[in-house]
Amino acid sequence: MRQLLLPVLLAATALPLASYAQVTTPEPAASRSRRGTGTIRGVIKTSDGQPAAFVSVGIAKLGKGANTAEDGTFVLTGVEPGTHLLQVSFVGLQPQQQTVTVVAGQATRADFALTESAADLSEVIVTGTSVINRPASASKADIAPLDLPQSIGVVSSTVLADQQINRLGDALRNVSGVSLTQQRGGVAETFSARGSSIGVGGAGGSIFKNGLLSNTQGFPDASTLESVEVLKGAAALLYGNVSGGLIINMVTKKPRYEWGGSVEMRAGSYNFYKPIIDVYGPLTKNLAFRVVGTYENAQSYRDVVTSKRLYVNPSLLYKFGEKTDLLVQGDYLRSDITPDAGVGIINLNAESQLLPNTPRSRYINTAWAYNVTDQASGSAVLNHRFTDQWRLSAIAGVQDTRVHGFGAAVPNNAIAANGDYTRTLSAVNTSERDWNGQLNLNGKFDTGFLGHQLLVGADALRITSTSATFKYQDATGKIGPAYDKINLLDRSKYAERFDVPTILDTARTTSPSYRFGGYVQDLITITPMLKVLAGVRYSWQKTQQTSIENYDKQRTRPGVALDKVDKAWSPKGALIFQPLPMLSFYGSYANNFLINTGTDIYLQNLSPSIVDQYEVGVKSELFGSRLFANATVYRYVNNNFAQIAPFDQFGKPNGNTNIKELTGETTSDGVDIDVSGSFTKNFYFNTGYAYNYARYTNAGTTVGSPVSGERLTNNPAHTANASIFYTFDQPGLRGLKLGASAFYTGQRLGGNNNTVGQTGNYSRLITLSGFTTVDLSVGYSYQHFSILAKLSNITNELNFLVHDRYSINPVPPRQFLTTIAYRF
């Protein structure tokens, strides 16, 4: 590495640093692949010396363009010799031009200093559209979007503000192919994409905050985020054991070196109110801070349901010099919500089930049920730039999540045909502590005629979770889970109980797990039109034997399952063809792995299942990155899906559902299409459509195995989204904002997938129709003040979000929401 860094370091230090300087130097070998062409490279900074990231640079007459990276650098390759007019532009700002002379086989340096400061640039991002096709930090390598052979969706701060988004699920409706499901009991959000589920937390979690794994119990507060990034497809190369459908990265707001902030009051239907404060500024020349905080209090369209939430997110940014900075962040969330298991399922007889015809507001949990989440996290990110071409990032973080709650258990097929429902008690007391660490080295260099954008990294994760078991005692001393009986269709039929039984802890189980991975990825430029991305990761994961502390017997014993170690290689390869600077085609292969429970017929732990992903796509940037479009076609195949083994090791029929074999198969085919545009700072739109067909393709005939050909539950066949916002600046209408958003979720299956030989001759699937919700927004801004109002689900559409057959919750009805803000 020292031999590699030294020439790069010497070359970088030899470059002049003067603004508007134009210097001709020998061109790197990778840029000479087109005989007779040259290269233009440079740095763009703001008037206060800060890097100007994601600014468009191009030569209009040649149709060549690029966006600056995070450090303000840009490179234009394959430029014809001669004198050209190089233009720098950014949505909402005045363009700048500079005449450059390109010499064949050489690199011409052209630096710019914008007349706007970093604060001005940030203001455009906040008040404008921010629908700029910038690299996602979740990719870890700052690869330009057209060079990344993967579909990405970014929900910007502007969209979060204009749609007055409070929940992560509402933000992700703006990303094609992502659908909101539900955690059992309605106490957290889960998602599905491309036939895969995205859960709340744990070792297989796929939701991150600033690049670190995050438990999302209690609902993260989306109103305080800078953006939400979605990396679709297999991301095992970068993140290990994650969902094959996508990973989600929440990006929080960062400190700034200029004073500013906002105070907002958000209020709406069902006594919803939420003050939000955001303050940032410099404490010293090198130290900046930011504090974001909210408090939320609301009732609900569901009877009895309420929520009270407090969130605070302080952060500090310290610059050790021009090349090194340290970002320290922390946050705390307290979420006190009413658990809501939804409407329940009526069991008409042994062969059919249906949703009860009850009001949208009908609540079936106990009146006193509660679910409280306390979550605290802290992280530190150290960035060091050796040169313009090499940088190192070290990240460390810890998150502690504690949940306690009590109420009735989910219905669990307990509702009779006449609506009678015997409620039993259920409590939860869990904790999860996650320790995260990452190290990433990014570098750009040449070897012969090849250019490289290299990422080398490693990450480690330790998760310790605990869960408790209970027994319950009522006021008469009776111990047991039975509580009372109600009727869903006629609540006056039985007298409902309101007393709160006593919870008696019986045992606590501690479950440690560890994960480590090392990875390398290289984007190789063969010619400006042809590139290859290749990489591989090795993952090692250990699930340690649990420890069970039994309070009744005053002893601690180990769990039944012994230590389990899983190992996997996760390769990725892609070919990228760019016939024009604004057009890119790619084809890729990648895989992810799924950890399996159970054993094989010889009672050995099962190896992970490897899911192969094949993807082809096209991406295009037009009008100086003001319009971006991509279309993707993919196929996932898990041809070693774990299913129940038909025979044991002695050749006898197997009746143990824990003994499995890797002979099943699932397949997921689909299409994603996204188009977004931002032609001025006053106007933007984004649209998306996705189709998915996920099903069991070889599920076997053993009793208990899935049924071949059956679609997977919680995966809609079609989803679509569209949003448009416009702010007037004409006299008489200046400051007026109008917007509309529509979201479609297609037909899907709830309940549970059927199995071969299941008891009773009926389907466990619940067919749910598709539905569309439409939101309308109107607002007005004057100087530092603004008001924005939204009417959501204007048609009052009724449909349901589903976890399984036990948690089926109606979508929110028509509601009103408004935000009054003062920015300083």
Domain boundary among 116, 150, 167: 116
What tokens appear for 332 in the block? 């705390």
Q: For position 112, what pLDDT does the model report?
A: 86
Q: For position 720, what pLDDT does the model report?
A: 97
Enclosing domain of residue 770: 252-823
Q: For position 419, what pLDDT does the model report?
A: 87
CATH of the domain at 625: 2.40.170.20
Q: For position 57, what pLDDT does the model report?
A: 82
Q: For position 70, what pLDDT does the model report?
A: 66
Q: Residue 570's closest CA among 623, 521, 615, 526?
A: 521
CA angle 40, 46, 51 (to 5 degrees): 65
Domain boundary among 85, 116, 147: 116
Judge contact between 608 and 562, C-beta under 8 A: no
Domain boundary among 116, 137, 155: 116
Q: For position 104, what pLDDT does the model report?
A: 85
180 within some domain = no
State residue 793 phi and psi, 5-degree precision: 45, 60
* Residue 477 neighbours by CB under 8 Å, 6+ apart: none
476 within some domain = yes
CATH of the domain at 9: 2.60.40.1120
* Residue 406 neighbours by CB under 8 Å, 6+ apart: 368, 369, 370, 425, 426, 427, 428, 500, 503
195 within some domain = no
CA distance 448 to 757: 63
Say yes or no: 256 and 110 in one domain.
no
Say how many CA atoms lie within 13 Å of 643 toward its Cβ. Answer: 24
Please tell me whether residue 591 adopts helix, strand or coil conformation: strand
Residue where the block lists tokens 């439409």: 774
Judge contact between 763 and 754, C-beta under 8 A: yes
420 within some domain = yes
Our count of domains for the chain comes to 2
Q: Residue 695's closest CA among 781, 765, 774, 615?
A: 765
Complete DSSP assignment for 454-467: EEEEEEEEEEEEEE
178 within some domain = no
Q: For position 551, what pLDDT does the model report?
A: 83
600 within some domain = yes
Q: Read off the pTM.
A: 0.86
In this prediction, the residues of the chain whose per-residue pLDDT falls under 50 are: 1-35, 123-132
Please tell me whether residue 529 adopts helix, strand or coil conformation: coil
Q: For position 571, what pLDDT does the model report?
A: 97
207 within some domain = no
Q: For position 26, what pLDDT does the model report?
A: 47
